Structure 1
Amino acid sequence: MASAMTLQQLTYFLAAVEHGSFSAAAEALYIAQPSLSEQIRRLEHSLGVPLFVRTNRKLVLTEAGHLLLPRAQHVLVATNEAEESVRGVRTLTGGTVAFGTFSSAQHLLLSGLITDFRAQHPKVRIRVVGLNSSEVADAVRDGVLEAGLVALPVDDRGLDVSGVVWTCEVVYLSADPSRVTEPPTAQQLAEAPLILPEARWGNIDPTRRQLLGRVQRAGVSLSPVAEVESPALALTLAASGVGDTVISLPLARSLGYLERLHSVSLDPPLHETFAFITRRDAHLSPATRVLMELVTKHLAALETCDPVISHIEGAGDE
């Protein structure tokens, strides 16, 4: 069975037509003349017809050669256009990077992150989507986003989770200093007037799942008095004395609530754990790799967040 024609063969064919001989075409392409002749011979073999009449003076196109000529030109023009269309993505002079983050990252990272990325690569568009970590995992798995930064655990089927994670402490916050004199027990968490964020996701939210597991192991239930979508709103309500909340320490600090609320660590300490996720064995674009490096830089600058090398055992859902 004859092999299919290649772009290299079409390039050599067009060069031979342009320069009138195999030797002149080979010289123009900086290759050995026998190599060019052999590729054109293979092209003729795959098509089943001769493309040139070989004369002592100049190559002459056969009827088949004349028919192939405009089509070969069109193929190479289209190939060059295809290469050019993705050149910006490869060289960071065009294209769009699509990245997902946990919802509260807008308060911790995104302003500085986007500013830095745009300063370095002003011709690359950036699309950063803030979602619950479960939604980010779904979007990366479905190919809607190329990569994401999520709070663990998430359903990691079909995903690769980075071997370096960041842990940030989660604290109990109240406007009443008497309620934070010591770490609350699981029983006290169950009885506290808690205002918890991520209302839409509830117990699927990674941090909520940790709290739920803690009180359930003590034989009690978690019953917040209010659930809201935004961590910022939960903090605002806590500062107004409506109830208490459990929020990551760097987020409370970033939003300026450590001056308005009293805080105490949980016992044992509770941490949010963040990691990058990508589709399993995915080839990331240069822009996404640069963005992830910048995310790492901004995470390292957060107080009370520390990088930890991990094998991510048990990161996914059971």
Structure 2
Amino acid sequence: MTPSLNSIVSRLHLKQMRLLIALGDHGSLLKAAQQVGLTQPGASKALQEIETTFGTALFNRTNRGLEPNEVGHCVIRYARLIHTDVAHLRQEIVGILRGHGGRVAVGAIMGAVPLLTEAISALVERHPEMSVEIVEDTSATLLSQIEAGRLDLAICRTTISQTPQLYDSIKLQDETLAVIANVDHPLGHAKRVTLTNLAEYRWVVYRANMPMRLLLEREFRDAGIRFPLHLLETTSTLATLMLLQNNPSFIALVSIDVAQFFSHHQMTRILPLTLASTSEPYELVTRRGAPRSPGAQLLMDELVGLRSEQV
């Protein structure tokens, strides 16, 4: 029977987390003991206490040393997360005491990356000792990370959530979409293109049920054209760019901010396709009722300031 959460929390210590990480790194009790400043008998006793805490063995004892079993790999992974979180905690405390805000973890969907990076550039220019973690993913994943406390804020959409009441949100800006392609795409110099022209090309798109994907499917449906069957699905800006760079016939649907950035640097070109549909606006999202760190508040102020400049 797995021990209760209260039992685990009351018996587990941070030094034991360090030992688990060292065991995962070395697979040797002796080397792990040396790394965390314990004797080998002391490390052996600590490992027994850890396994008792979790109510199961975490390692297989072999002639090559200690090999994590499935539960062991899981526990070590979370030990690393806990260790990282404590390091971030210290970093944020130092930042608060020095008056520069410390650290902030922020997420963004692909189309909002240019807006976010502009805000972060301004932030670190004003606060050069600020540390920022940036996560690019879908709205669903970013919201789950906000709820879990892994992110301080995100630029995404709460409309995809079944529990939008869990979040506070501020509308940042509307999203306009564009179709981009390799600079040598066969239709790159056309004055106007239609969905019919593009239907047979290979599309790079978001996964099914994502807002941008649904919009594109609606465009094809309203035009009476079958939606392309063989898609390349990704949420990564870099993967999208690399796919277009590697194949002159690929096309992708992205936000106009991403499209203009790529076009400005002559990495891709914007195809002259007019879309009838409009996308939902970006929101600046935080967890409702959660306290805001100084770093998070500074970044939010930068983002809201950019919104005000665009109005």
Give the TM-score normalised by the residue count of structure 2. Answer: 0.55
What's the CA shift for 1:176?
3.0
Q: How large is the Cα RMSD of the aligned pairs? A: 3.6
Contact map agreement 1:176 1:262 (CA 8 A) in 2: no
**Equivalent residue for 1:245, pick from 242, 252, 263:** 252
What secondary structure is seen at the aligned counterpart in 2 of 1:266? coil
Change (3 A) 1:274 1:90: farther
**Counterpart in 1 of 2:288?**
280
**Equivalent residue for 1:184, pick from 194, 198, 201:** 194
Once residues 112 and 286 of structure 1 are traced to their aligned partners in structure 2, the CA distance between those partners, rounded to angstroms, is 19
Contact map agreement 2:177 2:253 (CA 8 A) in 1: yes
Residue 145 in structure 1 maps to residue 155 in structure 2: no
What secondary structure is seen at the aligned counterpart in 2 of 1:256? helix
Counterpart of 1:247 in structure 2: which amino acid? Answer: V
**Equivalent residue for 2:214, pick from 201, 209, 212:** 209
**Counterpart in 2 of 1:160?**
167
Contact map agreement 1:235 1:257 (CA 8 A) in 2: no
Residue 96 in structure 1 maps to residue 100 in structure 2: no
Once residues 165 and 105 of structure 1 are traced to their aligned partners in structure 2, the CA distance between those partners, rounded to angstroms, is 10
Counterpart of 1:245 in structure 2: which amino acid? Answer: A
Change (3 A) 1:112 1:231: closer
Change (3 A) 1:224 1:116: farther
What's the CA shift for 1:88?
5.0
Correspondences of 1:244-263 after superposition (within 5 Å): 244-256=251-263, 259=266, 260-263=268-271
What secondary structure is seen at the aligned counterpart in 2 of 1:177? coil
Counterpart of 1:155 in structure 2: which amino acid? Answer: S
Contact map agreement 2:188 2:271 (CA 8 A) in 1: no
Contact map agreement 1:212 1:222 (CA 8 A) in 2: yes
Q: Percent identity?
A: 17
**Counterpart in 1 of 2:41?**
none
Change (3 A) 1:262 1:220: closer
Change (3 A) 1:232 1:123: closer
CA deviation map 1:128-187 (0-9, x unaligned): 2222222111111222212111156431614335342311321223523389544635xx
Contact map agreement 2:211 2:279 (CA 8 A) in 1: no
What secondary structure is seen at the aligned counterpart in 1 of 2:121? helix
Once residues 99 and 162 of structure 2 are traced to their aligned partners in structure 1, the CA distance between those partners, rounded to angstroms, is 29
Once residues 223 and 152 of structure 1 are traced to their aligned partners in structure 2, the CA distance between those partners, rounded to angstroms, is 28
Once residues 286 and 94 of structure 1 are traced to their aligned partners in structure 2, the CA distance between those partners, rounded to angstroms, is 5
Correspondences of 1:1-318 after superposition (within 5 Å): 88-89=95-96, 92-93=99-100, 95-103=102-110, 105-106=112-113, 108-151=114-157, 153-155=159-161, 157=163, 158-174=165-181, 175-177=185-187, 181-182=191-192, 184-185=194-195, 188=196, 191-198=199-206, 202-216=207-221, 221-223=226-228, 225-229=230-234, 230-235=236-241, 237-238=243-244, 240-256=247-263, 259=266, 260-271=268-279, 273-298=281-306
What's the CA shift for 1:276?
0.7
Give the TM-score normalised by the residue count of structure 1. Answer: 0.54
Counterpart of 2:209 in structure 1: which amino acid? Answer: I
Counterpart of 1:266 in structure 2: which amino acid? Answer: T
What's the CA shift for 1:291?
0.3
Change (3 A) 1:274 1:86: same
Once residues 223 and 117 of structure 2 are traced to their aligned partners in structure 1, the CA distance between those partners, rounded to angstroms, is 40
CA deviation map 1:184-208 (0-9, x unaligned): 35xx38834242244xxx1133211
Which has more helix, going by share of residues?
Answer: 2
Give structure 2 stretches of 5+ with no counterpart. 1-91
Contact map agreement 1:173 1:264 (CA 8 A) in 2: no
Once residues 231 and 285 of structure 1 are traced to their aligned partners in structure 2, the CA distance between those partners, rounded to angstroms, is 28
Change (3 A) 1:262 1:123: closer
What's the CA shift for 1:254?
0.8
Contact map agreement 1:159 1:280 (CA 8 A) in 2: yes
Q: Number of aligned residue pairs: give it.
A: 213
What secondary structure is seen at the aligned counterpart in 1 of 2:278? strand
Q: Which has the larger radius of gyration?
A: 1
More displaced stretch, 285-294 vs 110-119: 110-119
Change (3 A) 1:192 1:143: same
Change (3 A) 1:221 1:273: farther
